[in-house]
């Protein structure tokens, strides 16, 4: 089967072709030793420029790790407390149910405020999608929008009780870093984190790239295929950092090393462990016990042990970086469009590094099953036909040339040769079973019908 790096490389080659991703750059290391460090595809389609491991991409919300580290460094210096009131620090009224929103609430997304979604509106509007338009180029714009949302009754729970992912909260944290440190947020982050870790190619959107750095072109998906777009510079502390996988590896190695990389300490062990402590369960729980710490998505019990990290998306750039302090494995993945979920690929990489079969990971196995069953199906003699397509983490069955209704399928059980889904039905549920035989043929048993997928092939099937 090959070593972990070879297996991971094979998976990547399959996915970038299947999902039509211009480029993907990957780095997997164990205790600093590379198992795979390679670039795939092109950083610019127009110029035909191959990507390199030093190519820089937007890392999106992985920036939140850096922002959280900046906050924790100020806490270590005694200049800030996690219990400080955000409203007092910024001079804005930010209370929910009469309780002040505190620094740790923003770090852990537990302010009680569902996302007003300024970043989503900014990006989609900037890319020309026909949706809301929030051209907020100044961080204070997003904070003011958050304050107005609270004033209009947008919050649903008291602080510290419930998780709502809140980009606006991290924008506010960037301003808090500026207020407390007396420095521009970008300057403080560069001096306190990026430079000590030798993250030489990292910079913020809107800044001039370092000399000689290759920056990947961002491509947004659309009905007519990929199109090159310009990423706005209004996003900063919540998702505005650009970096290479080599840079991200240094960041992950520092966290896996309990705040140290080599002879350099950027945070204390206590601060890193504070960041890893779960403050709230997240709505998404791929391993059943997942939560959010301070700037980190935390998976305390996976087949490869404790894992922490973060994903990122700017709709055109996608990213994932994570580490396991138990195995010493670190992974960084960057792409210049959306497509195959990089978090799932990151889990697979960490599994391979730990000697675990990626098929033992439910998220990876589920995606493989859904990829296998997507397509057009025909009953006996073509008397009934329908299509099955993936929609997020479920399937949709749509009749062909028929007035029948579409059906939504939710996964229940799946392995390499059988996948069982459930569909809502008359207040209850109905079982739908897909079977993949050893020759690669896929068939489905759906209500009264048996149908076979046209042109089936199960290329990623475990042998």
Q: What is the pLDDT of residue 221?
A: 86
Range of the domain at 100: 4-360
Domain assignment present for residue 83? The answer is yes
Q: For residue 404, what are the contacts with CB-CB under 8 A and spacing of at least 6?
A: 386
Tokens coding 7: 């297996």
- If one counts the domains in the chain, the total is 2
Q: Does a structural domain hold residue 214?
A: yes
Residues in Cβ contact with 403 at an 8 Å cutoff, skipping those fewer than 6 apart: none
DSSP 144: H
Q: Do both 332 and 448 map to the same domain? A: no
- Same structural domain for residues 321 and 398? no
For residues 293 and 391, state if they share a domain. Answer: no
- Residue 173 · residue 117 · CB < 8 Å: no
| 462, part of any domain | no
Q: Which of 325, 360, 395 is the last residue of a domain?
A: 360
Q: What is the DSSP letter of 60?
A: G
The pLDDT tens digits for 410-429 are: 998 887 788 999 999 888 99
| Residue 85 DSSP one-character state | B
Q: Which two tokens stand for residue 192?
A: 């306190």
pLDDT in tens, 309-337: 999 999 899 999 999 999 999 999 999 99
- The interaxial angle of helices 362-373 and 342-353, nearest 10 deg, is 130
Query: What is residue 456's predicted lDDT score, i.e. its pLDDT?
Result: 66
Q: What is the pLDDT of residue 459?
A: 40
The CATH number of the domain holding residue 197 is: 3.40.710.10
Residue numbers in the chain where pLDDT is lower than 70: 1, 402-403, 456-463
What CATH number is given to the structural domain containing 447?
Answer: 2.40.128.210
Asked whether 271 and 83 are in contact (CB, 8 A), the reply is no
- Which of residues 341, 360, 379 is at a domain's end? 360
What is the predicted pLDDT for the residue at 1? 60
What would the pLDDT profile of 58-73 be if each residue is shown by its tens digit?
Answer: 999 999 999 999 999 9
Q: Are the C-beta atoms of 342 and 80 separated by less than 8 Å?
A: no
Q: What are the tens digits of pLDDT across the range 200-223?
A: 999 999 999 999 999 999 999 877
Q: What pLDDT is attached to residue 355? A: 96
């Amino acid at each position: 089967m090959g070593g972990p790096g070879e297996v991971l490389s094979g998976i990547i080659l399959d996915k970038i072709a299947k999902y039509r991703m211009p480029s993907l750059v990957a780095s997997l290391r164990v205790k600093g030793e590379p198992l795979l460090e390679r670039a795939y595809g092109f950083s610019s389609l127009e110029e035909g420029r191959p990507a390199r491991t030093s190519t820089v991409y937007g890392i999106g919300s992985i920036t939140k790790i850096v922002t959280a580290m900046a906050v924790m460094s100020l806490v270590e210096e005694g200049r800030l407390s996690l219990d400080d009131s955000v409203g007092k620090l910024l001079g804005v009224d930010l209370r929910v149910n009469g309780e002040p929103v505190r620094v740790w609430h923003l770090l852990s997304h537990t302010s009680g405020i569902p996302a007003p979604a300024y970043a989503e509106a900014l990006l989609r509007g900037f890319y020309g999608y026909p949706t809301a338009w929030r051209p907020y180029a100044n961080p204070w714009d997003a904070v003011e929008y958050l304050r107005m949302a609270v004033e209009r009754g947008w919050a649903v729970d008291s602080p510290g009780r419930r998780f709502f992912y809140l980009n606006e909260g991290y924008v506010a944290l960037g301003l808090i870093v500026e207020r407390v440190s007396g420095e521009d947020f970008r300057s403080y982050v560069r001096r306190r984190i990026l430079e000590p870790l030798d993250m030489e190619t990292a910079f913020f959107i809107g800044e001039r790239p370092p000399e000689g750095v290759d920056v990947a072109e961002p491509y947004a998906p659309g009905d007519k295929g990929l199109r090159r777009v310009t990423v706005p510079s209004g996003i900063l502390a919540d998702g505005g950092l650009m970096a290479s996988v080599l840079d991200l590896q240094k960041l992950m190695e520092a966290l896996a090393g309990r705040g140290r990389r080599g002879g350099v300490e950027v945070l204390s062990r206590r601060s890193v462990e504070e960041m890893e402590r779960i403050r709230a369960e997240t709505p998404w729980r791929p391993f059943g016990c997942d939560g959010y710490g301070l700037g980190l998505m935390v998976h305390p019990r996976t087949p490869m042990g404790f894992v922490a990290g973060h994903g990122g998306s700017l709709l055109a750039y996608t990213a994932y970086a994570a580490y396991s302090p138990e195995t010493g494995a670190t992974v960084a993945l960057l792409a210049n469009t959306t497509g195959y979920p990089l978090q799932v690929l990151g889990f697979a990489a960490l599994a391979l590094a730990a000697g675990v079969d990626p098929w033992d990971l439910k998220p990876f196995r589920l995606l493989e099953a859904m990829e296998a069953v997507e397509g057009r199906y025909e009953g006996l003699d073509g008397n009934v036909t329908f299509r099955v397509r993936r929609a997020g983490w479920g399937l949709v069955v749509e009749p062909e040339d028929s007035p029948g209704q579409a059906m939504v399928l939710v996964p229940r059980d799946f392995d390499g040769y059988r996948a069982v889904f459930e569909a809502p039905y008359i207040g209850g549920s109905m079982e739908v079973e897909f079977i993949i035989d050893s020759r690669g043929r896929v068939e489905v048993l759906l209500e009264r019908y048996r149908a076979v997928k046209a042109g089936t092939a199960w290329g990623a099937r475990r042998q």
